[in-house]
């Protein structure tokens, strides 16, 4: 009888884990669809809150924190009236929680994105401090995964929008966008819910460099 109890306990345990995993992935996919189609500040903030709730339930998963932060950043960049400093602080908190679980290139990319967003409040005044932080996160990303296409896309964006007399402009940005597009051509996300954004944006910006 004892020989039957142990395999049954293992089977029940596996079934429970599978059910939890399926529920988690289902919730993630549902909210990723909402994030992809978000248009208003309320849309972005609502989906960010939803990802936070998933993170609270899934203590060992960093991705819900990642997407909660990404939704905040997209809201900050798309809404001219957004309080970017408040958003930046919230993003830092979310990324800190994610990095307590796992430190990786995708999280470093969002740190870079966050510095970019905060710098847009006053580029001339904040360039020195934000520029140093951005360089730090580029280096960190490269050390973690030099083939991440998103860091090159974001770097290209910054260079593209920097005046030529300050070392920016289309010509300087073009090879960076090209690098991003080339890396996206071979990039494969780790799973169906892993970060996989930026390809179309990088391609569009590369086209802009030729106009």
Full-model pTM: 0.89
**Residue-range domain boundaries for the chain:** 38-133, 147-211
At a CB cut-off of 8 Å and minimum separation 6, what does 123 contact?
none
| φ, ψ at 109 (rounded to 5°) | -60, -40
The per-residue pLDDT for range 153-209, each reduced to its tens digit, is 999 999 999 999 988 999 999 999 999 999 999 999 999 999 999 999 999 999 999
Largest CA distance in the chain: 81
pLDDT digits (tens, 9 = 90+) for 141-158: 999 999 999 999 999 999
Tell which residue, 131, 138, 136, has the closest CA to residue 153.
138
């Amino acid at each position: 009888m004892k020989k039957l109890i142990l395999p049954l306990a293992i089977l029940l345990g596996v079934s429970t884990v599978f059910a939890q995993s399926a529920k988690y992935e289902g919730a993630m996919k549902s909210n990723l669809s909402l994030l992809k189609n978000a248009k208003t500040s309320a849309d972005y903030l609502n989906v960010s809150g939803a990802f936070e709730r998933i993170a609270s339930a899934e203590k060992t998963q960093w991705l819900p924190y990642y997407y909660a932060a990404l939704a905040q950043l997209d809201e900050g960049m798309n809404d001219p009236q957004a309080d970017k400093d408040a958003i930046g602080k919230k993003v830092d908190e979310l990324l800190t929680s994610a990095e307590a679980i796992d430190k990786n290139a995708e999280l470093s990319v969002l740190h870079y994105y966050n510095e970019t967003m905060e710098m847009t409040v006053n580029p001339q005044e904040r360039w020195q401090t934000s520029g140093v932080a951005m360089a730090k996160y580029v280096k960190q990303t490269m050390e973690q995964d030099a083939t991440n296409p998103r860091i090159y896309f974001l770097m290209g964006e910054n260079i593209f929008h920097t005046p030529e007399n300050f070392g920016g402009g289309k010509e300087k940005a073009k090879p960076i966008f090209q690098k991003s597009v080339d890396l996206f051509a071979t990039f494969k996300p780790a799973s169906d819910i892993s970060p996989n954004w930026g390809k179309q944006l990088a391609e569009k910006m590369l086209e802009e460099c030729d106009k």
